[in-house]
Amino acid sequence: MSGLEHIGVQVVTAPQDGARSYVPALLREIEALLAELVASGRHGRIDLRSLPLLPGDDARLAALLGNGEVDAAIQAMGGTRVRETGVAGVWWVTHANADGETVAEFVEVTLVPEMLKTHPQDARTGLARLRERLAELTHEGETDG
């Protein structure tokens, strides 16, 4: 590497005196979305990047929601992590680019996040691919025989 890490630059985070956390308001919004999911099945999503969160707000929200049973990793031009929080039906979805930088982050209130589902078109492509392989195997079997 270039040795840049040896340059003595120290970035100091400015104090946030007097600033108010958005976490309580976010929890209320999540509560409303979850109540809607339970009542009507309608899912909701909060774009965490669109909110003027204070440093540490996202970590505080994550800690308050806790960890659930599912923690899925997806490789789709960069990693995506889909975690169910300790509140069933509330998911934390983090999209990263190929360099590992977070490019989008959402709280999703749903039974199954869309990112975990296989799209019907992909399933059709998968079926075609599987049949090709079966045909190859059949051909190899006939050749060997």
Binding-site member from 2, 10, 40, 143 for another protein (CB under 8 A): 10
| Residue whose CB is less far from another protein, 131 or 139 | 131
| Residue whose CB is less far from another protein, 59 or 123 | 123
By the rule CB under 8 A, 5 interacts with another protein: no
Residue 78 Ramachandran class (φ > 0 left, ψ -120 to 50 alpha, else beta)? left
CB 120 within 8 A of CB 127: no
**Cα–Cα distance, 23 to 29 (Å, whole number):** 10
Query: DSSP label at 66?
Result: -
By the rule CB under 8 A, 106 interacts with another protein: yes
Distances (CA, A) of 68 to 90, 91, 96, 105: 9, 9, 21, 18
Instruction: Provide, rounded to whole angstroms, the least separation between the CB of residue 85 and another protein.
Output: 17
Residues of this chain, 68-97, that bind another protein according to CB under 8 A: 74, 76-78, 80, 95, 97
Going by C-alpha positions, the residue among 60, 31, 64 that lies closest to residue 46 is 31
* Residues at the site binding another protein, with contacts judged by CB under 8 A: 8-12, 14-16, 44-47, 49-50, 74, 76-78, 80, 95, 97-99, 101-104, 106, 114-115, 118-119, 121-122, 125
